[in-house]
Chain A
Amino acid sequence: MINKKLIKDLLNESACSHNKDKKSSCDKPKPGATSGGCAYEGAQIALFPYADAVHLVHGPDTCLGASWETRATLTSWEGENNTPLGYCTNVTTNDIIFGGDKKLAESIAYIVERKKPKAIFVYETCVTAMIGDNIDFTCKEAGKRFGIPIVPVHAPGFVGGKNLGSRLAGEAVLDALVGTREPKEIHPYGINLIGDYNVTGDMWQYVPILERIGIKVVATLSGDGRIEQIQQAHTAKLNVIVCAKSLITLCRKMQERYDIPYVSVSFYGKRDTSNAIRSIVNAFGNEEMMQKAEVIIAEEEAKLEARLLPYRELLKDKKAILNTGGNKSWSIASALQDIGIEVVATSIRKATEEDIAIAREYVPILMRVPANEQAKLIDEHNIDILLAGGRSLYTALKKRVAFVDVNQEKKVSYGAYGGLENLAIDVCAALANPVFKLAGKEAPWEN
């Protein structure tokens, strides 16, 4: 069942700085003026990276049929990778009338028999919430019968947006999995990585560095994650929230229940990556480790500088405008600055108060209405490149400046030190490409 009280609590998260001045991301969506995904999608984003678990969507087709195999979250799991697979109970008219519990139970049995997963997450959707299927009971019974965790996730789309759905998914994991398995030994410098989904392998850019310093990743939620590891997450010494505020409630609750403190970091760009490593190491307060971290940071930064050298000349004196949402409004700006680009302006139209405060430290001009402002700023500041969503392509073509679609699903990682080189390659390719001056050219019969 949907837990109304929990949803209310999640929306009033005390650890959220914007809570006094409530932002639209936590409000009810406006009919006819809403874009962006629903709570179910948020839950899917947060949990699908567990590749050793099957993700069963209890609902009709649109929820999963349109969205399976779309997220480029990578895993090193050697068994069958369930992340890109789609399991759906395909609720039909008959189930709406007579209830879908039986079909759900049969589907779970079908999956356990053929796939032998480590766990099954069962996602409630709007329709199965409306018809009042007793998903909790069905999952509990199946869990007893098959001896694996079968975790109901109560985030039907209509309860809110993606952010809330991710929170609800975090709650489901916290209640059903965390603390249900004890490890053989407890690592003194064990951390949980929360909120990095390893899209395009982002995590693999920095986890090896942390390991070299002597830090061990106990569990993740949920990039390259394993069910058995998240069950042991309560034995970590520190929670590290990576660039995602949606799971802050989970971290606060883990602090209350298991006495695990948390730090919030970003691994975008050179400076932020180095600072992220420092924040994690400092949280342990081990002097020796801090020194070792500084040595490794210096090494990595030097290596990166050497690799960026070929691009420095091309990127020198280049000016950019960034028009994107959320934490990207500052994290990408910071990364761009690290490869030597001057970021003249960034959009804060879709950023939280917290993001705006950070963005202010990085970028001189904050655009509130980028659609109106960016064209003018391109002229005034002699901008070379616009990094924005597809909608702004027309502005770039009209102004004949290079364009990078930052909202499109990225194909390579821009994360940590290694990813910066990928960013430099992509920006250089856009700057050098004649297409932006050519494609918008007038036809011979137009003036």
Chain B
Amino acid sequence: MGELKAIKPLHVNPLKLSQPMGATLAFLGIKNCMPLMHGAQGCASFTKVLFTRHFNDPIAIQTTAINDITAVIDGGEYSISVAIENITQKVSPDLVGLFTTGLSETKGDDIKGASLLLKDKQKIVYVHTPDFEGGLESGWALSVQGIIEQLIEQLIEPSLTCNKDKVLLIPNVNLSAIEVEKIKEALELFDFEVYALPDLSDSLDGHLGVKQGALSSGGISVEAIKKLGDAGLVITVGRSVKKCGELFCEKNAKATHLHFDSLVGLQACDDFYGKLLTCKGWSKPPSSIQRWRKRLQDILLDTHFVLGKAKVIIADEPDNAYAISTALGEVGANVHAIIAQRSDISEAFTCKVQIGDFEDVETLLPSFDAIISNYHAERLAHQYHKTVLFRGFPNYESVGIGLRHNVLYEGSCSLLCEVANTLGHV
């Protein structure tokens, strides 16, 4: 139900987050990585502060600190090489994720050239992520594409080396650390060897380490990424990362690509497990999965009384808005989605959908019961006496964000119960 109308001249109370922020998260899902934002110091600082408050954990990031002089006379090589020099004086990253901002893209810097000049000193993946285009999801997806293109080693003879039991899982930016872990575990139950790229499941899951490192604290290793080329199956979750799977198949023509727009709700999960069974030639999944499906069936019936009459606004990144609105739609909820940026997924929504900001949310909110969105929904919900449920970035209100589990049969149960239980609590 596309209803993507032209936008007013400005954003009032923006919902959108920027591409460089998505890139930051993607690189934080790689072990011993330093995300390096090519922009003014504020670009990285705002990003660091937002994610630090969101995750309640330290966030590794550095900046090339473009100033008013290097903005004009440097083509990027100078500030990037000095940044790499200063970073490597203190730490030894396995990878530096170099990505641009509005400032460096307006300058038109040659980050590819700058990376090549430094290739003997430091392994770098470079990505163009101007913040005047796209948003959080595309910044993440572009980074994954950059990693696939620049890091994964080309197979010499795909037909001989392709490993059909090896899976590359590409989650979208909205999935929490534990959700990534749960999907990996689900695939392991099908006897797959699973690698998630990026893998936030052990880097931003909020664990107490021995000390605070200056680099990303977990994630997939660079060595493992290099050898991903022989994966026989690539699974993408979320429309924003679909292209990443296609790109991988260009590298390994023997690989099978399974794409899922969502893993929330009965139909989405049935689709997922159905395809895995076909893939494996199995007739039934492991018994725990069968049990959780029955529980979800029961929850669908238990929650439909409340949710079937509920009018809910969801304002979030496109993939997450799609996943949640579809799941709520299965129990008859009346959902209106406001998404942060343009996306192919907008055509797949089964509810009303528009691109917008929190001014648009505010216009609609009086005739709805609840709002599912980020931290900025708190003030509005309070003002209009509506129920609020926090999803998306940033969330400064809740703790344990990395632990949220709303995917597959089990997580879908939690989501439906949480929405049903919260409704009516103003």
- Which of the residues B36, B48, B209 comes within 8 Å of A35, measured between beta carbons? B48
Tell whether A87 pairs with B10 under 8 Å between CB atoms, given A126-B39, A390-B58. Answer: yes
Asked whether any CB of chain A lies closer than 8 Å to the CB of B133, the reply is yes
Asked whether any CB of chain B lies closer than 8 Å to the CB of A372, the reply is no
Besides A66-B47, A130-B103, 10 more A-B contacts (Cβ < 8 Å) are A2-B68, A28-B65, A31-B83, A32-B86, A59-B102, A69-B375, A70-B49, A91-B102, A93-B133, A439-B208
Q: Which residues of A contact B (CB under 8 A)?
A: 2, 4, 28-41, 56, 59-70, 84-93, 95-96, 103, 106-107, 110-111, 126-127, 130-131, 156-161, 390-391, 393-394, 397, 409, 439-440
Within 8 Å CB of A156, what residues of B? 40, 68
Distance of B20 from chain A, by nearest CB (Å): 6
Compute how far the CA of A222 lies from the CA of B44 in the bound complex, rounded to whole angstroms. 26
- Which of the residues A36, A67, A92 comes within 8 Å of B133, measured between beta carbons? A92
Q: List 30 A-B contacts (CB under 8 A).
A: A4-B68, A28-B65, A29-B67, A30-B65, A32-B65, A37-B41, A38-B42, A39-B42, A41-B46, A61-B16, A61-B17, A61-B135, A62-B43, A62-B131, A65-B18, A66-B18, A68-B13, A68-B14, A88-B14, A90-B14, A90-B16, A93-B130, A96-B106, A110-B10, A127-B103, A156-B40, A157-B41, A158-B68, A159-B67, A390-B58
Q: Are A158 and B210 interface neighbours, CB within 8 A?
A: no
| Interface members, chain B 38-92 (any A CB < 8 Å) | 39-50, 52-53, 58, 62-69, 71, 79-80, 82-87, 90
Tell whether A33 pairs with B8 under 8 Å between CB atoms, given A66-B18, A158-B68. Answer: no
Q: Are A158 and B11 interface neighbours, CB within 8 A?
A: no
- Which of the residues A86, A106, A157 comes within 8 Å of B12, measured between beta carbons? A86
Q: Which of B14, B21, B133 has the most CB of A within 10 A?
A: B14
- Which of the residues B66, B394, B396 comes within 8 Å of A158, measured between beta carbons? B66
Q: Which of B41, B80, B82, B131 has the most CB of A within 10 A?
A: B41
Which A-B residue pairs are the 4 nearest by beta carbons?
Answer: A38-B42, A32-B83, A32-B86, A157-B40
Within 8 Å CB of B49, what residues of A? 37, 66-67, 70
- Which of the residues A2, A88, A96, A161 comes within 8 Å of B11, measured between beta carbons? A88
Within 8 Å CB of A96, what residues of B? 106, 132
Distance of B55 from chain A, by nearest CB (Å): 12
Tell whether A66 pairs with B50 under 8 Å between CB atoms, given A31-B65, A85-B13. Answer: yes
Within 8 Å CB of B9, what residues of A? 89, 103, 106-107, 110
Q: Are A33 and B87 interface neighbours, CB within 8 A?
A: yes
Compute how far the CA of A84 lies from the CA of B361 in the bound complex, rounded to whole angstroms. 16
Distance of B63 from chain A, by nearest CB (Å): 6
Q: Which residue of A lies closest to B81 (CB)?
A: A31
Within 8 Å CB of B295, what residues of A? none
Q: Which of A38, A60, A61 has the most CB of B within 10 A?
A: A61
Q: Are B133 and A66 interface neighbours, CB within 8 A?
A: no
Tell whether A65 pairs with B17 under 8 Å between CB atoms, given A32-B62, A91-B102. Answer: yes
Q: Which residue of B lies closest to A409 (CB)?
A: B53
| Interface members, chain B 90-104 (any A CB < 8 Å) | 90, 101-103
Distance of A348 from chain B, by nearest CB (Å): 21
Q: Are B13 and A38 interface neighbours, CB within 8 A?
A: no
Chain B 153-184 per-residue mask, 1 if CB under 8 angstroms from chain A, else 0: 00000000000000000000000000000000
Compute how far the CA of A439 lies from the CA of B80 in the bound complex, rounded to whole angstroms. 40
Within 8 Å CB of B211, what residues of A? 394
Distance of A232 from chain B, by nearest CB (Å): 30
Tell whether A158 pairs with B10 under 8 Å between CB atoms, given A30-B86, A60-B102, A65-B18. Answer: no
- Which of the residues A31, A41, A86 comes within 8 Å of B42, measured between beta carbons? A41
- Which of the residues B43, B50, B394, B396 comes within 8 Å of A157, measured between beta carbons? B43
Distance of B114 from chain A, by nearest CB (Å): 12
Q: Which of B64, B106, B211 has the most CB of A within 10 A?
A: B106
Q: Are A130 and B86 interface neighbours, CB within 8 A?
A: no
Within 8 Å CB of A161, what residues of B? 41
Tell whether A95 pairs with B132 under 8 Å between CB atoms, given A31-B86, A67-B46, A394-B211. Answer: yes
Q: Which residue of B lies closest to A41 (CB)?
A: B42
Compute how far the CA of A62 lies from the CA of B67 in the bound complex, rounded to whole angstroms. 17
Distance of A109 from chain B, by nearest CB (Å): 8
Q: Which residue of A lies closest to B9 (CB)?
A: A106
Q: Are A38 and B41 interface neighbours, CB within 8 A?
A: yes
Distance of A69 from chain B, by nearest CB (Å): 6
Within 8 Å CB of B66, what residues of A? 126, 158
| Interface members, chain B 1-41 (any A CB < 8 Å) | 7-14, 16-18, 20-21, 36, 39-41
Compute how far the CA of A36 lies from the CA of B44 in the bound complex, rounded to whole angstroms. 9
Q: Which residue of A lies closest to B8 (CB)?
A: A110
Q: Are A61 and B131 interface neighbours, CB within 8 A?
A: yes
Compute how far the CA of A111 lies from the CA of B8 in the bound complex, rounded to whole angstroms. 11
Q: Are B10 and A66 interface neighbours, CB within 8 A?
A: no
Tell whether A38 pairs with B45 under 8 Å between CB atoms, given A66-B18, A439-B208. Answer: yes
Tell whether A29 pairs with B65 under 8 Å between CB atoms, given A63-B46, A93-B132. Answer: yes
Within 8 Å CB of A157, what residues of B? 39-43, 103
Compute how far the CA of A95 lies from the CA of B7 in the bound complex, rounded to whole angstroms. 14
Within 8 Å CB of B45, what residues of A? 35-38, 41
Within 8 Å CB of A159, what residues of B? 67-68
Q: Are A127 and B62 interface neighbours, CB within 8 A?
A: no
- Which of the residues B47, B52, B107, B396 comes within 8 Å of A62, measured between beta carbons? B47
Q: Are A127 and B46 interface neighbours, CB within 8 A?
A: no
Compute how far the CA of A40 lies from the CA of B50 in the bound complex, rounded to whole angstroms. 16
Q: Are A66 and B12 interface neighbours, CB within 8 A?
A: no
Within 8 Å CB of A390, what residues of B? 52, 58, 212
Asked whether any CB of chain A lies closer than 8 Å to the CB of B226, the reply is no
Asked whether any CB of chain A lies closer than 8 Å to the CB of B376, the reply is yes
Distance of A257 from chain B, by nearest CB (Å): 28
Within 8 Å CB of B63, what residues of A? 29, 31-32, 34
- Which of the residues B11, B41, B80, B107 comes within 8 Å of A34, measured between beta carbons? B41
Q: Which residue of A lies closest to B394 (CB)?
A: A66
Tell whether A65 pairs with B48 under 8 Å between CB atoms, given A60-B131, A158-B103. Answer: no
Compute how far the CA of A302 lies from the CA of B135 in the bound complex, rounded to whole angstroms. 56
Compute how far the CA of A275 lies from the CA of B45 in the bound complex, rounded to whole angstroms. 36
Compute how far the CA of A34 lies from the CA of B37 in the bound complex, rounded to whole angstroms. 11
Within 8 Å CB of A91, what residues of B? 102, 132
Within 8 Å CB of A393, what residues of B? 212
Distance of A23 from chain B, by nearest CB (Å): 17
Q: Are B65 and A130 interface neighbours, CB within 8 A?
A: no
Compute how far the CA of A2 lies from the CA of B72 in the bound complex, rounded to whole angstroms. 13
Compute how far the CA of A161 lies from the CA of B65 in the bound complex, rounded to whole angstroms. 10
Within 8 Å CB of B83, what residues of A? 31-33
Within 8 Å CB of A35, what residues of B? 41, 45, 48
